[in-house]
Structures are given as C-alpha cells and as structure tokens.
Structure 1
C-alpha cells in the first residue's frame, strides 16, 4: 500500500479509503490510485479487516469427490446461488471418508469461513462437535439426517432407493439384487442398501441378494465384476439395482460382453441420473436427484442464514427437502 501511495502521490490512508466501497474521495484522486494499483499489480490484503468485521468473504464447501459429475453439479448450483453476493467458495473433497472430512472441517474453520456446507449427515463425533461449536451457519446436503446440526438441504437416499425397488416390483420383477461397496464409507450408498432391504421386506420379498464389491465409490469396472458375481451366486436373479449409474453402466457392459440380453435376461437400474445413463445402449433406468438444485437451494439458504447472523437475527434451523424420481428407461 505504501508503494501505491508513493506512486499516486497520496497518503496510505487515502489509498485505503479509495479501495473501500462507498468511501468519500475525489474522483480524480481515486482514478490516480487505481492506475497505480493496476501498474503495480497490487491486491488489497483483507485479512485485517476480516478480523474486525468477522467477514472473510468466503464459505467452505466439502464434497465427496471432485470428479463425480453429480457433486460437480451441486458445487455449480452453490456457486450460481452466490453469484453477485461477494462471497467465494473454498471447495475441498473428502474422498468419501468421514475421518478426512473431520480434518478438513478443522482446517476450514481455522480460516474463519462465514458458513460451511458439508455433504451427508453422518460425521465423526469430533467432526460433529466442531460443526456444532463453529458459531457459523452449517448446512448438511444430500441427506436427511435424523439429528441435523442446523440446516439441511437434501432427500432420503433410503426412500429414493426404496422407490426404485417398488418400481421394479410394479414392472413384475421379484428376484431383485443390489450391488454396493464393501464398506459403509459411502454413507449415502449404505442408506440406499438399507432402503432396498426395507422395501423388499415391505413387499414380502424375503430373500435379498446383496453383492458388496469394491471400495466406494464403485467404478464401472467393479460394477461389471460385481454383476458377474451376483448372477454366479444367484442365477435366478431378474434385476440388479446398482448403487450408482457408473456401476450400473459397468454392469450393462458386462452383460453385453457375456451376451446377456438387457432387460430380458437381467434388468439393470442405477442411481443419480448421470449423463452416461441416458446415452448408453440400452439407456439405464435410474433415480434422478436434481444435484444442481441441491446446490442452488443450499446457497439460497446459506445467504439467508449469513444475513441473519450479520443482522443479529439468526434464522431458525431449516430443512429443505429436494425432489427425486424414478426415471424409467430401456434397461428395465
């Protein structure tokens, strides 16, 4: 700032005032300072002002993966909702690990974000305590936790999976299998398995057929290998629900390799409505969960919550339930 002041022929205080929105300063002086700023490549250090105003200008967002198009869409929705607000997103990914999420929550909170958005409603005990004591708006997304920390924007993965089971049952399928990961690392995947088992029991289909294969998130290759194991163990299986569209696409490719007709030999269903599910042949039945909308509505709720904090009128905990639906396609 001293360099800018010397170049513009003014005091550092005048430079500071010129770089603040709404400050009263002669336009000719302001323009001279701006030219000096541009020539020197100066960037205002906002950290000192952040300490006094408690406004850092960013929100933290944690997603499970940066190469999953669903979570990328959620991040895009969140970004679009914050457009024009002056807030920026500091994004990081947990790799589907609640332990890594805990580390990232602590790291993010050290940077004093104005709010934090996390994916899912299951956390480590310490991670949950950190969020509860953060003193900023917290939004859990992609889930409907039984005990929300504050705000929630999401849907029940178990209910969405159950809806898919009911759809297959209505289509005449009775011997339905489920393909998921080997661990509960993907907590939403675990909820989808629970929804499958619950719906099967409610429909009087007592025999469940579950293949746990691969560490979440399950790849296309693992989806194919898992389907082969499913049919090897239960040759009578009529339909397979996969924990995601990527594993469903892998299962579909395995069927084509083995010349198993889909859906005549076995029906395939996924979850998430990835673009690949509408472009494959045959196209894949799936559950659409409106990922972009989750992010956009989380951003809108986040702005209301931040404004409430700034005005001393905190908003009451809110739960926004987002929509989902079974998208019937050629694979069933």
Structure 2
C-alpha cells in the first residue's frame, strides 16, 4: 500500500511505468516476452510503489489458486519439520506454494480449519491426522481436490496416504530392546487422546509384551508451556518409582527420550549399562553429534517430497497407501 490507505494496483504500476496493464502483467509473469527496457521500467515502478501481485485475481480467472493447504498436528515439536520442508521444496518446483496451519491434535479444530482452507480453493489438502470428525470427513469427500494423509497409513485413507506403519515401528524398536537381552522394558508415551500415531506405537510395544516380564506403560499428560524433554524426565521418574528394576525405556518420541536420558544422567544411572533408552523420529537432537539416541529413523523429507510429487501428478488414485518405511538406528543409549 503506497499511501497507507489502499492496495497498489496493476493500474498504478502501469501508469507509473507509462505502459498498459497487459504489459505489466506480462512483465511480471512472463518477463521473457517483454523487452529489457520495458521490463526495467515496470520493475522500477513495482519497487517504487511496493506492488505485490494479486494472486486472487489470477485464481478467479484461471480457477487455480496455486496453493496447497497443509494441516499439521503441531508446530511445537520438530516432528513434521522435514516433511514440511520436503513439501515446500517439491511443490515450489511445480509452481505451487504451501499454506500451513496447526490443529493441536484436536479434531474439532481440524474440521474448522478444513472449512477455512477449502474457502481458499487450494489445489490439494495435506493432513497429518487420520482421525477426522464426521463433518470434516464429509467436507473432504465433497471437496473435489486431492486429499493426502501423511505420516500414517490409515485403512482406508480419505483419498491417498504416504507414510509408514506406526504399529510396526513401535514393535520394531521394542524388539530391538529384547534382542539386546532386556526383558523389563517400559513404554513412555503421552496421554493425548487424538494422537493416533502415538497410540499405534504403543500398541506395537504391547504386541511384544508376551516376550517381556510384564507390561509397563506410563503416559504423561501434556501441559501448556511444558516442553517434551521436561515431560520425558517426569515420565522416567514415574517409571522408576513404579518399577525400579526397569532395564529399558521405549519412548514415543525423541523429545521424550531426550528428557528421559538427561533425567537418567541426573540420577547417576549408567546408560545403557543399567538403563537403555530409545526415541522415535531421529531428529537432530538424536544424532551422533548430539545425544546419540537409539531411535527409529523416519525420512520426513522423503515423505514430503513424495506427497508433492503425487499432488503435482494430478488426480490421486483412490485408496493409495504408499509405505515409505522406517529404520531402527542403534546408537549409544542401547
């Protein structure tokens, strides 16, 4: 807004540059079709006036917004950071931009945001949750755009899904602890009602309980302003209070595992001699250069890029579930 009272229009730029509006549009969208001298005049006017292209006008005429909407469960943890980056880069290569919002694991919030996002006429919708309210599900079915669920493989998906089997991953990391000779293994999770991925990882642990001394599960309740590591430290304290002979702790995330590891060190425990600890996600904090956490590696970047590829390819095959897999990574904590 040049004068603080109204948006600068393409007509304003045309008048300042001494050319027609069609020439301004061509200079901004297909500069190779405009002479260098005209392009310089238009760019000088744009810079002087602070003009920003009105994408809504182009969307109305072409019926394309060039926007993909993504609703992620949280932005407070690094869990989806790589996927968002992969989506952004992949979509950008195809001329699309990502519009992002967070649901805080709440289906009602997700339903409201789905309605809001669809009002922007996105090219596609990406969701990190697979648990939707009936109203949200009806909106998604009627939207007429690709809907891609990521980080899980719901059966069936709304349209298509790209992710991995969280239950299998939870079982795999528990199996790793068993294979290292530990039988008194606890599971540390979060008491978050609508986090289906975490619930599936917990179920994977339960699937292996027949090979353990007993089922040992602690779920800490998230609190506003309290970070994951603090909850991990709290959770380890609860586990050791209830089961002092615990030999290993399988954590639902690297955030919880980092707190549990630091709490073990504060208590003077030998990790992994007295207590093995694993995380989930293989985020930066888990790397050999940081905490060297045993964890489950998820290639979030690849999930984001593959999601972008499917969106750019056009209509999603109904019922597609693409398994990107996972890898158990053993490091210093087991």
Q: TM-score, normalised by structure 2?
A: 0.88
Question: What does residue 214 of structure 2 align with?
Answer: 207
Deviations 1:274-315 (A, max 9, x none): 22122588632111111111111111111112xx4xxxxx65
CA gap 1:218/1:169 in 2 versus in 1, 3 angstroms: farther
Question: What does residue 325 of structure 2 align with?
Answer: 323
Confirm whether residue 44 of structure 1 aligns to residue 53 of structure 2: yes
Q: 1 CA distance for matches of 2:238 and 2:29?
A: 64
Select which of 189, 198, 206 maps to 1:197.
206
Structure 1 residue matching 2:92: 3-state secondary structure: coil
Tell me if structure 1 keeps the 8 A contact 2:150–2:303: yes
CA gap 1:8/1:193 in 2 versus in 1, 3 angstroms: same
Tell me if structure 2 keeps the 8 A contact 1:304–1:315: no
CA gap 1:182/1:124 in 2 versus in 1, 3 angstroms: same
Confirm whether residue 151 of structure 1 aligns to residue 160 of structure 2: yes
Select which of 292, 295, 298 maps to 1:289.
298
Deviations 1:87-134 (A, max 9, x none): 111111222222222221111111111111110322222222222211
Question: What does residue 129 of structure 2 align with?
Answer: 120
Question: What does residue 311 of structure 1 align with?
Answer: none
Question: What does residue 272 of structure 1 align with?
Answer: 281
CA gap 1:242/1:17 in 2 versus in 1, 3 angstroms: closer
Q: 1 CA distance for matches of 2:275 and 2:38?
A: 75
- Report matched runs for 1:74-153 at 5 Å: 74-153=83-162
Tell me if structure 1 keeps the 8 A contact 2:14–2:21: yes
CA gap 1:319/1:10 in 2 versus in 1, 3 angstroms: same
CA gap 1:7/1:162 in 2 versus in 1, 3 angstroms: same
Query: Offset of 1:174 from its aligned partner?
Result: 1.1
Q: 2 CA distance for matches of 1:282 and 1:10?
A: 61
Gap runs ≥5 in structure 2: 1-9
Cα RMSD for the two superposed structures: 2.4
Structure 1 residue matching 2:162: 3-state secondary structure: strand
CA gap 1:139/1:266 in 2 versus in 1, 3 angstroms: same
Q: TM-score, normalised by structure 1?
A: 0.88
Tell me if structure 2 keeps the 8 A contact 1:56–1:112: yes
CA gap 1:265/1:45 in 2 versus in 1, 3 angstroms: same
Structure 1 residue matching 2:93: 3-state secondary structure: coil
Question: What does residue 67 of structure 2 align with?
Answer: 58
- How many residue pairs end up in the alignment? 323
Confirm whether residue 229 of structure 1 aligns to residue 238 of structure 2: yes
Question: What does residue 241 of structure 1 align with?
Answer: 250
Q: Which moved more, 1:40-49 or 1:263-272?
A: 40-49
Q: Which moved more, 1:289-298 or 1:315-324?
A: 315-324
Query: Offset of 1:77 from its aligned partner?
Result: 0.9
Q: 2 CA distance for matches of 1:27 and 1:238?
A: 71
Q: 2 CA distance for matches of 1:189 and 1:167?
A: 18
